Amino acid sequence: MKNRNELEQPIGSATIGWQIARLPTNSSMIGEYCKIIPLNIDQHAESLYQSYSKDAENKNWTYLSYGPFDSIREFKSWLTSVANNSDPYFYSIVNKENNSAVGLASYLRINPKQGVIEVGHIHFSPILQRTPLATEAMYLMMRHIFEELGYRRYEWKCDSLNARSRKAAERLGFTFEGIFRQAMMYKGRNRDTAWYSVIDGEWPKLKRSFESWLAPANFDPTGNQKTSLSDRLQKNG
């Protein structure tokens, strides 16, 4: 006869005390460098289009399922098609210094009952790329879902061939989970999807790393970082 321990099946850890997460709302997220504001076509379309126009070769549209757009009219038409969606829920990334919109990002695949949400449709203009503002935008969105909306899992997915997106996910503290082969098709081609995630138990360490990296003391008078975010993550690990 088998003993009791041999008959028991392994199960996951209990989720005692966890409550259903909340849906994103039209509230803004404000940082030192940027504001994350629900997409508003009247306020943001013109500056977004001008910001994206800095990408003269349209390389930043390669791994998005839409765009590039040949005119502001086409771009506004696309914005109109997504502006009122609840999933994905689009935000403009606005430079506080001049109040211009310099990028987009969204929450999507929103599942409050399971506490799972994804960040996606991330499109940083050349003005935004590789700046403290860009990092702060991702920090603000991550902080919002863990601390204010109550999610347990934050996902990042991208084309497995999108090396820049994969590098960004890893730099921001996401953990690589694997490749979903032939997960979708877009622009007439196959996409194998790379999956990354951050879970709520990892957030306190990530928060310390983000905040210490974003601190003014981490930048010299010319704006160059003194220590990298990766170094901060290792230090706080």
Output the tens digit of pLDDT for each of the chain's 237 residues: 556 566 688 889 888 888 999 999 899 999 999 999 999 999 999 999 999 999 999 999 999 999 999 999 999 999 999 999 999 999 999 999 999 999 999 999 999 999 999 999 999 999 999 899 999 999 999 999 999 999 999 999 999 999 999 999 999 999 999 999 999 999 999 999 999 999 999 999 999 999 999 999 998 888 888 888 888 887 776
Report the sign of the C-alpha dihedral through residues 138, 143, 149, 154, in that order: positive
Taking the C-alpha atoms of residue 38 and residue 140, their distance in angstroms, rounded to an integer, is 13
The CATH superfamily holding the domain 24-236 is Gcn5-related N-acetyltransferase (GNAT) (3.40.630.30)
Taking the C-alpha atoms of residue 97 and residue 200, their distance in angstroms, rounded to an integer, is 32
Taking the C-alpha atoms of residue 212 and residue 201, their distance in angstroms, rounded to an integer, is 19
